[in-house]
A and B are shown apart, each in its own frame.
Chain A
Amino acid sequence: NAGVTQTPKFRILKIGQSMTLQCAQDMNHNYMYWYRQDPGMGLKLIYYSVGAGITDKGEVPNGYNVSRSTTEDFPLRLELAAPSQTSVYFCASSYSGTGGYNEQFFGPGTRLTVL
């Protein structure tokens, strides 16, 4: 049972480049989330999904896109990378999404630098 896995661990992008951050979970969780953490700040929600085929915006969705074709995978796409997207990105999952009553399990993170 690997939990939540994320690839890559590190990535440097040039301004304007695109990339996809991969996230997978093997816990059969319905709910999946993408957060970003900037230095000295808490985690901010980018997008979330309540099940395959259903996604919705979080607090800071601009510049990102997501898809959820399977229960296991929830990739995050950056289309035109900007320096403001330099951050650490965490993927998380939970069995249910009702508030905090269901613990969210986090992946190890992807550290992205845009130069």
Chain B
Amino acid sequence: DQQVKQNSPSLSVQEGRISILNCDYTNSMFDYFLWYKKYPAEGPTFLISISSIKDKNEDGRFTVFLNKSAKHLSLHIVPSQPGDSAVYFCAASGPYDYKLSFGAGTTVTVRA
């Protein structure tokens, strides 16, 4: 039973434009959400996170938005750069959870 879903397996965007990645979750106990980025043959690396007490968190070109009522979050990358081409995983956790629940990932390709 997948509690975190990324329904778009892939996304292609032109360099300089906005990339929007979506993530939905089903567990209402989740209170912390993270995005990880993964290049081929490497492990995931932490990108940005958001607590359920916020609806937006920004870090440079990356912004995460959280809509608790819709159980939906999104990651915006503006402007997209070739180095952003990677797989992006959405993850979520509840209070006192030791584990992260991951989505299946979205592969982003930034075209020159």
Question: Is chain B found bound to chain A in the same assembly?
Answer: yes
A residues at B contact (CB < 8 Å):
4, 31, 33, 40-45, 48, 50, 56, 58-59, 90, 92, 97-101, 103-109
Q: How far is the CA of A104 from the CA of B7 in the complex (A)?
A: 24
27 A-B interface contacts by CB (under 8 A): A40-B9, A40-B104, A41-B104, A42-B89, A43-B44, A45-B99, A48-B98, A56-B98, A59-B99, A90-B43, A92-B43, A98-B98, A99-B93, A99-B94, A99-B96, A99-B98, A100-B32, A100-B49, A100-B91, A100-B93, A100-B100, A103-B46, A103-B49, A104-B100, A106-B43, A109-B42, A109-B43
Looking across the interface, which residue of chain B has its beta carbon closest to that of A44? Answer: B102
Additional A-B contacts beyond A45-B100, A97-B98, A100-B33 (17; CB < 8 A)? A42-B2, A42-B89, A44-B102, A45-B99, A58-B99, A92-B43, A98-B96, A98-B97, A99-B93, A99-B95, A100-B49, A100-B91, A100-B93, A103-B46, A103-B49, A106-B44, A108-B43
Q: Which residues of A contact B103 (CB under 8 A)?
A: 42
Q: How far is the CA of A31 from the CA of B93 in the complex (A)?
A: 15
Across the interface, do B45 and A108 meet the contact criterion of CB distance under 8 Å? no
Q: Which residues of A contact B33 (CB under 8 A)?
A: 100
B residues at A contact (CB < 8 Å):
2, 4, 9, 31-34, 36, 41-46, 49, 89, 91-105
- Distance in Å from the Cβ of A76 to the closest Cβ of chain B? 15
Known: A42-B2, A99-B31. A48 touches B43 (CB 8 A): no
Q: Which residues of B contact A90 (CB under 8 A)?
A: 43-44
